[in-house]
Chain A
């Protein structure tokens, strides 16, 4: 009797390696199967490792990057969540890169036409990328709050708390921003003229660079004269971005989205993959054309430039794959739905 109880507990512990959708479908029969195996051979390290490893594989399958997910109906949500995490991290790097490029570009009076064109495309792509991400955040957060107000928010409270907490941390880490904005907005002290496109772009680039540079150069020595607390917050900011993105991914999977959000899910992922692809190609063209910070990023042996390209390439491939799989899955579901409806009519 005690052995049976222990076997059931061991089985339950092992099944925790698997994602929720998998557990909802298979946990009962899998637990029964494991208990029968335990009855024949109580201890078997290879068996335990096999279950743990396959559980991790099932979790990876559940990220929307594989055709093997148990919850195929949730493929689009999974793709949205995974793409958001990847694109949020990419957006920080992209914003930092663009801001630096824009500042350097503005500091020169003459540029070859390819450099002008690629800087412009980078500006538009970065802007669109941020717009899509902000729209996703707003839709998910509004839906989450509405769901909680309706009393159905038990599963989304934790990720929502993590999302709000990480945003609060990030906001506190850039609490100096309003002062900087006020100082540089004052025209009579030589501030930026926000009504003119050129100076406004320069002003935005300046602010974006001030915000993202300490995040990018994490765990570097702090700026001279900077309080230690600020240096620590800057070091923790990338982790806060990651926590926020992961929390948003959980919300995107669990929240009751409006119908339009459901319909646009896979299209949004495809749009993100196109934007990341355009950004990557433009970045390569920009390096090739000899953009103003080519020396900093493009020299052989400078690992930053190579790391940028590899990361952007990886994100583009993964987001494209998740978008294509979500589109494919949606069309398959739509086809099945038509067949079922058709069979009812007949």
Chain B
């Protein structure tokens, strides 16, 4: 499934950041700064604060994540069932692309 066919459509250039955030939240609920640290750790990408909160707001409005009660000023976010479905479908689509690419590289170039 392409991003254009999912609720991630409309995120434009931020679709990549959205996938990173959904992937991070798949491991459990996190607040903004913990999300940035986690994404930095597993993907090597630093999400700037403006981008992070823009994407969080859009994911929340699409019902893919939900904001939990704030702990002092920090508000954790949790992946919703719809968010988990979208992430699963996206990863499945990416795996198909990965497998096809690997198979073709192996057949034509003997690598991968």
Contact = CB atoms under 8 A, between A and B. Distances in A.
Interface of A: 22, 25-26, 28-34, 36-37, 46-47, 50-55, 57-58, 67-68, 70, 72
Contacts of A51: 48-50
Interface stretch (B21-29, B69-77, B82-90, B96-104): B69-77
B51 A29 contact: no
Contacts of A31: 73
Nearest to A27: B73
Interface residues of B, number: 20
7 smallest CB-CB distances across A and B, nearest first, come from A54-B50, A50-B48, A32-B73, A50-B50, A51-B50, A33-B32, A29-B75
Given A50-B51, A70-B57, 18 more contacts: A28-B73, A29-B31, A29-B32, A32-B33, A33-B36, A33-B52, A37-B33, A46-B48, A47-B48, A50-B49, A51-B48, A51-B49, A51-B50, A52-B50, A54-B54, A55-B50, A58-B54, A70-B61
A54 B31 CA distance: 19
Contacts of B16: none
A30 B57 contact: no
Contacts of A46: 48
A57 B58 CA distance: 12
Interface in B1-60: 10, 31-33, 36, 48-54, 57-58
Contacts of A58: 54, 57
Contact of A68 (B49, B61, B72): B61
B60 to A, nearest CB: 9
